[in-house]
Structure 1
Amino acid sequence: MTQHDGPDHGAHNTSRHQQQNPTQWSGQPPYAGGPYPPVPPGPAPKKANWFARHKILTGLCGLAAVVVIATAATASGGASDPAPTTTASHSAAGSADGSAAGGSAAPAKSATSAKPTSAAAEPAKDTAPGIGDPVKSGNLQFTVTKVVRNQAQVGQDFMAQKAQGRFTLVYVTVRNVGNDSETLLDSEQKIKDADNKTYSPDSGAELVMDDNDVWLAQINPGNAVDGILVYDMPVGVQATAIDFSGGLFKDSKTVRLH
Structure 2
Amino acid sequence: MSPQPPPQWGPAPERPQDRRGWFARHRLLTVLLAVTTGLVILGVLGSLGGQDSTAPPPATKAKAKAVTDSGRLPGVGEPARDGKFEFTVTRLQPGVGHIGGAYGQDAQGQFYLVHMTVKNIGDRARTFDGADQKLIDRNGSKYSADTAAAIHLDGSDSFLQQINPGNAVDGIVVFDVPKNADPVRIELHDSLFSGGTTVDLTRRR
TM-score by length of 1: 0.50
Evaluate the alpha carbon distance shift between residue 126 and residue 136 of structure 1 in structure 2; reply closer, same or farther with a 3 A threshold: closer
Whichever of the two has the greater Rg, that structure is 1
Aligned ranges for residues 20-169 of structure 1 at < 5 Å? 127-157=72-102, 159-169=103-113
Partner of residue 192, structure 1:
136
Unmatched segments (≥5 aa) in structure 2: 1-69
Aligned residues: 133
Query: Distance between the aligned counterparts of 1:251 and 1:151, measured in 2?
Result: 30
CA RMSD of aligned residues (A): 1.4
Structure of greater relative contact order (alpha carbons < 8 Å, 6+ residues apart): 2
Q: Which amino acid aligns with 1:160?
A: G
After the TM superposition, which parts of structure 1 deviate over 2 Å for at least 4 consecutive aligned residues?
none
Partner of residue 229, structure 1:
173
Q: Report the CA distance between 1:187 and its aligned residue.
A: 1.1
- Partner-residue secondary structure (3-state), 2:149: helix
State yes or no: 1:247 paired with 2:191: yes
Query: Distance between the aligned counterparts of 2:71 and 2:82, measured in 1?
Result: 20
* Amino-acid identity (%): 39
Unmatched segments (≥5 aa) in structure 1: 1-124
Q: Report the CA distance between 1:248 and its aligned residue.
A: 3.0
Report which of the two has the higher share of strand: 2
Q: Report the CA distance between 1:145 and its aligned residue.
A: 0.3
Query: Distance between the aligned counterparts of 1:195 and 1:126, measured in 2?
Result: 23
1:187-242, Cα deviation, whole Å (9 max, x unpaired): 11101000111000111110011122111000010011111111000111111100
- Partner-residue secondary structure (3-state), 2:117: strand
TM-score by length of 2: 0.63
Partner of residue 52, structure 2:
none
